[in-house]
Structure 1
Amino acid sequence: MISEHVLDAALRDLFELSPVPCSISTTDHNSRYIKVNPAYLRMIGRTWAEIEGQPLEVDLPYSIDDPARSERMKLIETQGYYELAEVDMQHASGRIIPTLISAQRRRIDGESFDIEILLDNSERKAFEQAILHAAQVDVMTGLQNRSSFETHLRAALANMSPDTRLFLAYIDLNRFKRVNDRFGHSTGDRLLKIVADRLLAWAGTNDFVARLGGDEFAIVCRHQAADPFLPGRFLDLAKTIAELVVIDENLIQVGAAIGLAEATHGVSFDTFLDQADRLMYAAKSSGDLIDIRTDLTGRHLDSRDPLKRCGNG
């Protein structure tokens, strides 16, 4: 049989030499450090002298009263433990460390304390983010894809308030098929990336830009009701799209048919999308290099408006 002395030494070594970060803390609201192992110090990039007796809050990127932490504290107080809770820790450098924490409340010889075991969850989180990114981003252009667009627009409509205005621009490139037919799909793909970059360069901080598929794009714009919204911005965008492009020494030009609609209170996703789509097809039917149709002013701004003509080259 192993003696108690040897067993105690083995348990101390298990704590000190474990590659898994471990922490022992007080049970009060501020949860102050009592003892941590070297793996824990390596994880947070600190020395024991820096954190001894300090509240755990010094290594948390959120308030000690954060609702998620309050829920964890409720669990440990009522059932004595919680398992694999997702908790962000903060490295001394400021870097956020996603972790999974299992904790247990112990009482020995009349003294209570909490024991926490932490698993670094960074790789799993990075993998999840990569999957999420792949599911939301159009590979060719780097813009958000149609699925992401639909999610964003539904949420934007659901969260509309009297203080906000929501606009949707449905964009289809004019004469893009000619580019594919004459120069090949590889050139067409490169042109789509250039157009995407121009859309992003034009977009403001409150604008959501997506590629819906093929040569169709969409932009969702959210503004405060008191702020002026200038449809002329989209005239500038259309002219930017129609600027000449040089690809493999070939001079290429495409234009844009744009349907621009404003959401009214209570409008459904399908109705709003159909409204912008219908305006875009009306612009497409004109055959002009640039055509923008909008119902923002109760009339169509079609290709006869000299502001929107950019030639038929």
Structure 2
Amino acid sequence: MNVDLFDFTLPPERIALRPAAPRDSARMLVVRGDTLADRIVSDLPGELRAGDLLVFNDTRVIPAQLEGMRGAARVGATLHKREGPRRWRAFVRNAKRVRDGDTIDFGAGVSAVASDRGADGSIALDFAGDEPVELLLERAGRMPLPPYIAAKRPTDARDADDYQTMFARRAGAVAAPTAALHFTPALLDALAMAGVGHVTLTLHVGAGTFLPVKADDTDDHVMHAEWGRIDRATADRLNATRAAGGRVISVGTTSLRLIESAADADGIVHPFEGDTAIFITPGYRFRGIDGLVTNFHLPRSTLFMLVSALMGLDRMQAAYAHAIEHGYRFYSYGDASLLLP
């Protein structure tokens, strides 16, 4: 499909620079078939049914943004995928100043050797020393806010909490599964009272989620792989929910993409562990999910293509036009939508 079909104009003032407080006070646009309804996230229990199951991503964002020196040259690195105990693949700013075998000093006693430049321009970084890389990043790294926020303000102490979900347990993401940022313990309690359950899985979100689609046709776009895991107990719960007539509602496109990677042609979700580079565009037949809670996405992005595949392109263009006209806040710290085809 032509990527231009997924374009729309977003006024810059619609980009949220801070999350709503409290988290579940964010607005929520409910798209149910052809109808639109303006709600807030705390209304979610009344929009779902007893027996439904919400699926959250329990990945934890690491301080994956690094600034360093290669000799006299300043370079920046954004880690995006772990390749070994001490090796991470990274997108590097000023990468033309970095050659294979060069050491980059990130300060605070943290350094890495660069090698293996990829076709996408990324570089492998092998971190020196014996300390776990996670400890090195805690010393030298900072929270990797999305570029559309980082371009408008610096990362600060608030982001260390704001950019983690309440489910964050397993370190490894370089971007938050932002739909879950809206959830609070009180909201989970209200959902449980309404008969709505929840489970978690793990997908370590990579920086590739923010890369623009540069191809003119979706067939020519290459997705970056991300590592994920669904254990047997979670897979069994997903399958049992649907068998009993309940709906599986993904909270975020990350949990949706992992479920769809693990589901077979009959809609049965199997345990999964490994990389997924699934790319969902209109025409895709969904196998393992029945609905989605998600934020509002970038124009021409793979995520806007995904929601258009779920709900229909014309319907999502209309929903986004409604959101823009009625002052919804967009992107990672923005408002939510509940999509029920």
The bucket for the TM-score relative to the shorter chain is under 0.3
What TM-score do you get using the length of structure 1 for normalisation? 0.22
Of structures 1 and 2, the one with the larger relative CO (CA 8 A, separation 6+) is 2
**Which of the two has higher C-alpha Rg?**
1
Q: Write 1 or 2 for the structure with the bigger share of helix.
A: 1
What TM-score do you get using the length of structure 2 for normalisation? 0.21
